[in-house]
Amino acid sequence: MDYPKPRIPTFPILSLQSFAVPQGEHVPSILDFPLVKFVTSGRVAIALALQQMKIGKDDKVLLPAYHCAAMVEPIIWVGATPVFYKIHPDTSVDLEDVRSRLDSSTKLILVAHYFGFPQDMAKIRNFCDEHRIFLLEDCAHSFFGEFEGRPLGSFGDYAVASSMKFFPIYEGGCLVSSRHDLASLMLTSAGAGFELKAMLNVLEKGFEYGRLPFLQRLIHGPLRLKNFIWDTLKERILKEKSTLGPGASEGGFGFEAKWVSKRSALISTYLIRKVSKKRIAENRRQNYVKFLQTLTGLPGCYFLFPDLPKGVFPYVFPLVVDDPEKRFRALKNAGIPVIRFGEFLWEGMEATTCKTSVDLSRRVLQFPCHQELSQQEMAWMISEIRTVLLS
């Protein structure tokens, strides 16, 4: 079904405020690791982690029944077998169910910090050590955050993150490890076309939602020339059945092996290092609290995470609703950038594996709380959500 364009940005977009640096303490994140390998997406980072651990044919990888395809596709790509485990209604790992699924072929468990809220990583780390299996920490929703005073990502043998969910960039993922050396992992450039696309996308997204107006006027002429050149280039690309950017950045499904050896764009790594991390952390927390304060008591819904502990920097605001299909359509038609994590669970997973995961994949609607939302945009979105939930 075709929906109208979102009236506010789904993900962070570049603005002059992106570089504001408020005073405050250090924000724990994936960037705290001595060596960060910047790649083009989180799914590519998972594939590289699997390769580093030599996971392949005849190996089994445990992963949550509440998942997106990007978590499964790299496992299939390396030839391993995905085995899905249960989660509890609060999204925490059901370790007893995990234990029941272990066998001699099990080499790895993938654990996700859903929506930025950490799992009990000390307990899970001890479980993996006890059973001598690898731990892959999926921080796609938790680029920033900590657990028991340690940054998320530091408990796993390897950890992956999705930088394009937290920074105003076109593409990006990260691979880190607190236990293994990544210095020998070499990545190459995806080429000038990719670098140009990544840079132009950053600017155009900012222009699209009314940011960077002075820059937009300044380069109006060159942009018109760029559009002509770009349209011509895209025609050639379509004829050659190739792409300049990863499918993950275009909202696509499927695993593209060509990106496994490629590093993130220069503009992406530059912006990750230069934009204000403190602003990202503070604004996300403030916007999350606004949701809690203004949506409390509404009928037919409840908060998946009703509290915001210290050290949690949320990816989105997840709301569990009744009659999700009707409300999802109404919100989309209103121009709200609502999405559903795990909306399409892996086809090979039995629905009876974890009824909680199936329920959450249908009923959890997630709303943006990123740092680039203005107060007016937040107020408008909350008003529309209230209208839909009260109807």
- pLDDT at 248 (0 to 100): 64
pTM (2 decimals)?
A: 0.92
Average pLDDT in the chain: 91
Cα–Cα distance, 18 to 371 (Å, whole number): 8
Q: What is the mean pLDDT of residues 100-115?
A: 98
- pLDDT at 24 (0 to 100): 72
pLDDT tens per residue, range 237-261? 555 555 666 766 666 667 889 999 9
Q: Which residue has the tokens 């993950």?
A: 248
- pLDDT at 204 (0 to 100): 87
φ, ψ at 303 (rounded to 5°): -80, 130
CB neighbourhood size of 379 (10 A): 13
pLDDT interval class at 374 (50, 70, 90): very high
CA distances from 138 to 133, 275, 314, 349, 374 (A): 16, 23, 14, 20, 29
- pLDDT at 218 (0 to 100): 61
- pLDDT at 244 (0 to 100): 64
Query: Over 90: is that where the pLDDT of 350 sits?
Result: no
Query: Over 80: is that where the pLDDT of 380 sits?
Result: yes
Query: Over 70: is that where the pLDDT of 375 sits?
Result: yes
Q: Which residue has the tokens 């920033």?
A: 144
Query: Over 90: is that where the pLDDT of 123 sits?
Result: yes
φ, ψ at 317 (rounded to 5°): -105, 110
pLDDT tens per residue, range 162-215? 999 999 999 999 999 999 999 999 999 999 989 988 998 898 888 888 887 766
211: its two tokens: 């940011």
Q: What is the mean pLDDT of residues 122-142?
A: 98
- pLDDT at 8 (0 to 100): 97
Domains and CATH numbers, the chain: 25-176 (3.40.640.10), 192-251 (no CATH), 277-390 (3.90.1150.10)
3-state per-residue secondary structure call for 155-223: CCCEEEECHHHCCCCCCCEEEECCCCCCCCCCCECCCHHHHHHHHHHHHHHHHHCCCCHHHHHHCHHHH
